[in-house]
Each structure stands twice: as structure tokens, then as C-alpha cells.
Structure 1
Amino acid sequence: MRPGSTESAHTGTRTRGNGPLVGLVVVLALVNFVVDSAVTAPLVVLPEMLDHFGTDQAAWLNATAMLAGVMWAPLLGKSADIHGKRRVLVLTLLLSCAGALVCAVAPGLWLFVPGRMLQGASLAAVFLSVAIVREACAPRTAMVLVGVVTSGSAVLNIASRFFVEKLAVEFGFQALFLVSASVAAAMALCVHRLVPESPVRTPGRLDVEGAVLLGGGLAGVLGYVSLGSGPGWLAPGPLALLVGGAAALARWFLVAGRKPDPLIDVRGLGGPLVLTLLVVFLAAGSYQSVLQLVPLVGDVSADQHLGYGLADQGSVALLLAAPGVGVTLGGPAAGRLAARVGPAPTLAGAVALGAVVTLGMFLGISRLPVALCCGFLLGVTVGALGTAGFNMAGSLAPADRQGVVSSLVMVMVSVGSVVLNFVGAAVLESTSVLVDGETVNSATGMRGCLALASGAFALAAVLSVRLVRIARTGREAREPAPERNPA
């Protein structure tokens, strides 16, 4: 191999020189910034949106994009394998742009919610960027760059929060969506002009029926979990989501086994990939359930005598910013470590770090220095888990299935986040106390959430150790036995 070039062991794709490779990584990192502007940045102006539309249904404004992203992910992942990753990434960004424009001009929720669903397609940009990097570079180089691409925009995300807040005050929350549309359109143009198209194609047809059943089923079940607490778990709307989603998933599973080219070949996933997806599900849900405690703890003063609280101990803004800094460092560090020791040990290490940090937060809910340290390390865990999860799954998939396998990782991250966030919220609600006529979270609830996250991390650690052993056994089986000297 020539100096300054990288070559993929799977595809033979070569990136000559460092210039094009650096440009590719910068573009794809900025593409992931689009995801934040579409999915999470609108939460900064959530109160303004609720007032504008005259509703208290925050879940519909908050969760719709993420749930739609789960629905879009398998469809766009499979499409990328069949029609080309760059082409589908451009389509993803244009869908996000269209959704943002719809949200900006929507006169009511009847149009705003479909706009958020279109914006949810941007979630696919994360795993499509990963698949493009893995195809453009040699495996060891790709492991490092996956961390840069998935985590490099975290600092921009922190800075954008202040910009978004000021923009909303000056021009209304609609300005946020106009900016999001502009960024998505600009990045679509950059991807079209600067990112090479994939030469690898998966022959076959897109299983549209399977995509609708799987995506719709996941969105229905998760919609029930996310939205049911508002109108009530037995209300007709949430129940319809649950029944419809479960029926769609059951239908998809039965039909997928009989199709020659299903959206996801469930029987062909293999034990290591299933273990990887389970680890990602548990770990992603765990760290998200801990992250949701950070603003709650930072908003309470120790003078309220609830047994926790950091509001009177110093700058809580640092507490909110620390995870973002950790993400920026954790992703590239995990990629570099994976290139040295392999993705399976790196994934196990990230899970172990998350478990330790979660235990540390038992002290962090009442001591700011401990909370700052844990917040930063939790961010490192977030970046490392995402990078290691994508690298591990990508190493188990052939070149012509990188898109759909990467989409499964994103689905597991989303599903885990929604499910364990809901469970954590239920723990807080069931243990709340009444203080001066106001219902507030109790220290018991806080510790209960941390115990739940610790248990999920512990189970993920057991599975990740098993994954390391399987990976080591497979590597030893591939290595030739040493030659014996003749006697």
C-alpha cells in the first residue's frame, strides 16, 4: 500500500492522499450536526412551541422525530446497500430539509407533526456516514474515523444551544427550523459534490412491505411507551398504537422468514451480531436514563433538603456542558483503541466505564465535583459506546450489507433510549413526594433510576465479555497454527 493512502479490505475502495480523506471526514461530521439540529435542538424551544400551538402534548413535539427515525432507519439502510450510500444520504438530508420547512410554516399540529416525521429521516445520516467511512478506508483507519465522524460535532452541538435560544427570542421558534433546513440543504450539496459514490451494490429489490411493517411496528410500540403516560395507558389512542405496532412486528417476523430477499434476514444475523445489538440496546438506554437526571439534579438546591441537589454549589452550566466535551473525546479515543485491540474489547471497556460512572453518580447527585467528573466520563461513555457499537457491527457484516447492519445499531440506540428513559421516568413518578404543596422528585427515585441503569449496565457487561470471548475464539481460529520444527 502506498504511503498516504487507505484501502478497504472489503471493497478495494482507495482514498489517495490525506486531503480528500480529511475533506470526507469533515463533511460527514457536519452531516451528523444536521441530525442534532433536526432531532434534539428543537427541545430548546419546546415551551415556545407549546404556547404557539396551544397544547400541552409535549411528547408529540418531542418524540415524533426520534420515533420516525426508527421507522426510516431500516428502509434507508437497505436502500443504501441497493442504490448507493451517497445517493441515499443525499435523499435523507433533503427529506430532513423538507420536514424542517414544513415545521417552519405549519399553522397547527396537524401539519407540524408530519413535518417532524420527515425530519426524523435525518437519523439515518449517522449510520450512513459510518457505512461510507468504513467503505472508504482500511478497517483500522476506519475504526478511528468512525469515532471522529460520530462524535466530532458534539462541541458544535453545545455552542448551537445558545445560538438557538437567542434566535428563538429574536425571531420566533420558526427561525430554528429555517436554519435547520438551510444546513440540511447545504450538507446535501456538499455530500453530492465531495463524497464519492459507493461501488458496492447489493443485488435485489427493496422490501417495501417489510420496511413499512418493521418501521411502523417499532414506531407504534415505542409511540405507546413514549406517549402513553399523557392521555393514559388504556386510552384509545395509545392502545391503538400498541396493538397496531405489535401486530405489524408479528406480521413482519412471519413474512420475513419466507421471503428470498427480506429487509433484514433475521435468521442470518448470527450470534455475535445479536449480542452486539443487545449490548448497544442496554448500554444506550442506561446512559440516556442517567443523562436525563442531570438537569433534574442541577435544578434542585440542597437547601430544599430532598437528599440531593446541586443548584447552590456552583456553576451547573458546567454540569450540562461536561457530557458534550466527553462525547467529543470519547468517540475518537474508542476508535483508536479499537484499531489497536479490536472493537469487541473496546465495546466491553466502554460498558465497564459506563457502569463505574453510574455508580459514581450515587455520590454525584449531591456533590458537584463528583457530578462534574461523572458527567464528563458519562459523555466519554456515550461517544465510546456509539463508536464501538458501529465498529463491532460493521466488522461482522460483509461490504454489501453495511448499510442495513449499521441501521440496526441506530435502531437499538433509539429503542434502548426510549424504553429505559420511560422506565426511569416511571420510577421517578412513582417515588415523588409532596413538598410545600408541590410534587417533586425524591432522593429514593433518583437512586432507583441509578440502580436501574447500573443493573442494565451490569447485564450489558456480562454480554460484552461473552462477545469478547467469541471474537477472540474466531480470531484464533482464523490464524494459522505455528509450524513445528522437525525432530
Structure 2
Amino acid sequence: MPDGPVLRTRRSVRRHSFPTRWRERRVTYTLEKPAPGAQERHWGKRLVLWAAVLTLANVLADMAIGSPMMVLPQLLEQFETDQAAWLNASAMLAGAIWSPLLARASDLFGKRRVLVGTLFLACTGALVCFAAPNVWIFLLGRFLQGAAFAAVFITVTLARQICAPRVAMALIGLITSGSSVVGIIEPFVMQPVIDVFGHRSVFLTAALLAAVAALCVRFLIPESPIRGTGRIDVVGALLLGGGLAALLAYASLGSDLGWLSRGMIALLVAGGTALAGWASHALRADDPVIDIRALSRPVLLTLLALVLAAGSFRSMLQLTSIVAQVPPGLGLGYGLGNGEAVAVLLAAPNAGIVVGGTCAGWLAGRFGPAPPLLGGIAVGAGAAFAMLAGVSALPLAVVCGTMGGMAAGAIGACGYILATGAEAPERQGATAGLVSVVLALGSVVFTFAGGEVLKATRVPGTFADGAPVSTATGVHLYVVLAGVLFVLAALPAFLLVRARRGGGARPEGPGRRRVRRSTRAGAQDGAVPGNAP
């Protein structure tokens, strides 16, 4: 049971014979003002504790997906396989399958309860990976561990519903970006652990961290005061998750296994068929996992901006890691060294993410999330185009990486705030889950596209640290394409800013007209209506 009162949503209110005016003000209260159970309206010791616990939960998502890559050669040797791509992408693909189910479950059964269950699932998966005797058991563990992918969007909606709006926005900015601090120190902390206890200690560490995070969430974080009604659309969730996972697998693994191989073509067809089946099912179902009929214009614009901006940022990270391995002495017109600067070049974006996400959350609480989203995209575009010179100048590359990280932090935080703020409270979990999937989709697709540009412009017979290199034209074209993606992302972000200035984006979909009428009624009764963030 949740701590504090459970707020009835529109769906459940209709089943009671309450006066019409009470029902209208009740809906307005949830959309425009803090929910009755919101427990924090000012920053203090308790809120700082909540921020630390929720950030710890998000750290697990990063560890579940990224940490095994530190021991990838040892894993390949242990399981006597050359399928590095599957070991690399398995947790993220599992996250795409888990996300729709866990997102909807969090709306129905409570964010804290589902978050605790998610963390224990990830803990179990890490232990399975730790003890796996063969690659198939290992992949099963990675499937369970992939549930940690959902921790990010569940913590976002939980923060939104246990705090007043302005405080929640700052908290979301902090928890979505704070885990990047771990990305800076993790290699320095984990490498000695691996050296002493072996490569499997990565999974034991992840299991311990997941267990600690689950216990902290259970005993230190209050439950969301809001519940939806209905049921989990298991068929729709599996079709959506399976279709997305298949397409992500095709984009992630196609370059290694062959784009036109039978297995990859079958995967692509299966993914497309599953998504088509999900769309048809969602249009007919009474309670779909994602109600595509009710997706509002602000949500769609936000998702479009996020998929473009996230793809651009992740593709630039890939390029930076490649260019860092190219010595300037090869005479290619670019290069940042022999790899000695990789740690600095990859740490700079993580530091930027922390700064950008935290500042964007604070700004969103005062000016709304649309302006800092547009500002973050503008900073990202500037950083991308500046890398035209940065690919051959290390100090400039570090600055560009930091700016790109700041942009990514702002974009991620404001994207979650915008998308969830445009939905009714009982659907915010599902919408936040959709944001996470879109971010992953953009990252994979555009990173793959950038890699194909580099492949098409390789210099025959020239290698850097054993890897093939591309021409300066190919590298510069890669940078320009990343910058163009940021520019394209700015267009929907600008429309969101303009809509806000024109009166604010209202939650749409079922019940939209009633919400607008209730806002006016609330104002007449002394309530202070405001725009949904």
C-alpha cells in the first residue's frame, strides 16, 4: 500500500457519483498543481536523501548496460564465442522489451513498488551472469539485468508525483544526470576490483548495488499518491517491446553479422511485423500500453526532438572515441593521439551531462522545460559544428565534448519533464517509458548511420592501432551530419517554445475539454491555474 492518500484518476472517478464540479477540480488539481500526496515543496535534508537514492537506482541502469564492456575480451574467452555484439547489446535489447510492461505496471501498481521489483530483477540477472556456466545462461541473466533500463523513467515519474512541480523538475534534472558522475570514476574504481577478484566481479558488484538500491528505495522513498485503473496490456507490451528490440538488434548487429544475411532480414521483417501488429492492436484495445490515439502534439514534438538530438550526441561520442585513436602523424588531416586522451575525452561529456541536466531542471522549474530544451539543442549544435576543427585539436575537442554533454543532460531532463507533463498523471509512467525507448532508438540508429559513413570513406591499407581509418572528408561529413541532426531537432523544440508562449501546451487526449473547463472553474473558486509543464 502507498504511503499517504491514493489519488483517483479520471478513469476511476467516473465510476462514482461525485458532483460534476468536484470531479472537474479534482482533475485540474492533478494536472496543474501538486497532487494531494505530494510531500516535498522545498529543498531540505529529506529531498537531498531522496535525490541520492533515486540517483543510485539510475546508476544501476548505466552499470547493467556498460560495465560488462570493461571485461568483454575475458567474457569472449570464457564462453568460447566470437559474438561480441550479442554480449554487448543484449541488456539494451532486453530493456526495450521490459520497458512497456514495467512502465504500464508502474502506473497501475505504484512507481515505488515497481521500481523495487525492477531493481531486484536486475540483481537476480547480475547473479545469473556471475554464475553462468555457458553463454546461453549468461544471455538469460543479461535479459533479467536489462530490466534496470526501466529504472530511469520510473524514477522520473516517481519524482514528479512525490514533489511539487517546481521541486520535481529540479529533482528530475539531478537524478537523470547525476549518474553520469559514475561514468567518470567507474573505470578507475572497477579496474582494481577486476584485477583482484577477476572479471566476474563486475556482475557481483552490480548485484550488490542493485540490492542496496532496492532496499533504500523501499524504506526511504515514499510511494506515489497516484494510481491508474485498468489492466496491463500484455499482448501489446510484448508486440511493442519485441518489435523495438528486433529493430534495435538489426541496427546494432547488422554490421557484424551482415545486413542482408538471412538472420538479419528475418529479424528486420519480424520487428516490422510486430510493430505493425502492435499499432493495429493499440487502435482496437480498450486499455493499450501506449494509447496512440491520445498522444498529444506536445508529446509527439518532444519525442521527435529527442530522437534526433540523442542520436546526434551518441554518434558524436562514437566519433570522438575513434578519432582519439588516430595519431596526427598519419597525415590524414585529423587525429587526437594514440589513445592516451580517450579517458579525458570520454570523461568530459559525463561531467557536462551532470552540469547540463542539473541546470536545466532548475531552469525548467522557473521558465518551463521547453526553453532549456531548445537551449540545450542549440548548445549541442554549436558543439557538433565546432568539432570540424576539434577533430585535430585536443583542447577544442575536450571543450566540445563538455558542451555536448551539457546539451545531452539538458535534453534528457527536459524531454522527460515535457513528455510526462503533457499527459494525465495515470499515464505518465507509460509516457516516460516511451521517452526512454525513443532515446535508445535514436542513439542506436544514428550511431549506426555514422559508422556507415566512416566505412564508406576508409583509406585502403592505412590503420591506427590495428583499426581501419577514414578520410578527412568522411570524418568531416560525419560531423556535419551530426550538426544537421541537432538543427533538425531544434525545429520541434522551437514549436514547443512558441506553443508555451502562446498559452501553454495542455494535456490532450481523452478528457481534454473537461480539463480546460475545470481550469476556468478552479480559477473562479480561488485556485491558481497554470500551464502543465
Q: Give the TM-score taking structure 2 as reference length.
A: 0.86
Select the residue among 482, 501, 507 that pairs with 1:453: 482
CA distance in 2, matches of 1:423, 1:337: 33
CA distance in 2, matches of 1:397, 1:345: 19
What residue identity is the alignment partner of 1:19? K
CA distance in 2, matches of 1:309, 1:216: 40
For 2:381, the equivalent position in structure 1 comes to 355
75 and 476 in structure 1: CA distance in 2 versus 1, 3 angstrom threshold: closer
Query: How far has the Cα of 1:442 moved from its partner?
Result: 2.6
CA distance in 1, matches of 2:458, 2:195: 33
Query: How far has the Cα of 1:459 moved from its partner?
Result: 0.9
436 and 363 in structure 1: CA distance in 2 versus 1, 3 angstrom threshold: closer
For 1:185, the equivalent position in structure 2 comes to 211
CA contact (8 A) 2:325 2:339 kept: no
For 1:485, the equivalent position in structure 2 comes to none
Query: How far has the Cα of 1:316 moved from its partner?
Result: 4.5
Matched, 1:310 2:336: yes
For 1:4, the equivalent position in structure 2 comes to none
CA distance in 1, matches of 2:355, 2:142: 30
Matched, 1:11 2:40: no
CA contact (8 A) 1:314 1:368 kept: no
Query: How far has the Cα of 1:318 moved from its partner?
Result: 2.0
CA distance in 1, matches of 2:119, 2:301: 31
In structure 1, the gaps of 5 or more residues are: 1-6, 481-487
Query: How far has the Cα of 1:436 moved from its partner?
Result: 4.7
Select the residue among 214, 225, 232 that pairs with 1:206: 232
CA contact (8 A) 1:45 1:165 kept: no
Query: How far has the Cα of 1:313 moved from its partner?
Result: 10
247 and 43 in structure 1: CA distance in 2 versus 1, 3 angstrom threshold: same
CA contact (8 A) 1:67 1:219 kept: yes
CA distance in 2, matches of 1:472, 1:376: 30
CA contact (8 A) 2:176 2:413 kept: yes
Select the residue among 359, 372, 378 that pairs with 1:333: 359
Tell me the alpha carbon deviations over residues 351-390 of structure 1, each in whole angstroms, 9 at most, x when there is no partner. Answer: 1111111001111100011101101111111111111101
CA distance in 1, matches of 2:181, 2:83: 30
Query: How far has the Cα of 1:199 moved from its partner?
Result: 2.2
For 2:470, the equivalent position in structure 1 comes to 441
Bigger shift: 7-16 or 417-426? 7-16
Query: How far has the Cα of 1:428 moved from its partner?
Result: 1.1
For 1:385, the equivalent position in structure 2 comes to 411
Matched, 1:419 2:462: no
For 2:130, the equivalent position in structure 1 comes to 104
Tell me the alpha carbon deviations over residues 115-166 of structure 1, each in whole angstroms, 9 at most, x when there is no partner. Answer: 1111111011001111111111111111111111111122222111122222
CA distance in 2, matches of 1:244, 1:476: 37
CA distance in 1, matches of 2:66, 2:74: 15
193 and 235 in structure 1: CA distance in 2 versus 1, 3 angstrom threshold: same
Please tell me the root mean square deviation across aligned C-alpha atoms, in Å.
1.9
- Identity, in percent, stands at 48
Select the residue among 66, 69, 78 that pairs with 1:43: 69
For 1:250, the equivalent position in structure 2 comes to 276
231 and 127 in structure 1: CA distance in 2 versus 1, 3 angstrom threshold: same
For 2:223, the equivalent position in structure 1 comes to 197
Select the residue among 52, 58, 64 that pairs with 2:90: 64
For 2:305, the equivalent position in structure 1 comes to 279
Secondary structure of 2:39 counterpart: strand
Query: How far has the Cα of 1:66 moved from its partner?
Result: 1.0
CA distance in 1, matches of 2:366, 2:485: 28
Bigger shift: 292-301 or 15-24? 15-24
Tell me the alpha carbon deviations over residues 440-471 of structure 1, each in whole angstroms, 9 at most, x when there is no partner. Answer: 23322221221221121111111111121122
Tell me the alpha carbon deviations over residues 151-192 of structure 1, each in whole angstroms, 9 at most, x when there is no partner. Answer: 112222211112222222332221100100110011111111
CA contact (8 A) 1:127 1:406 kept: yes
For 1:269, the equivalent position in structure 2 comes to 295
Q: Give the TM-score taking structure 1 as reference length.
A: 0.94
Query: How far has the Cα of 1:311 moved from its partner?
Result: 1.0
Secondary structure of 2:288 counterpart: coil
What residue identity is the alignment partner of 2:493? S
For 1:89, the equivalent position in structure 2 comes to 115
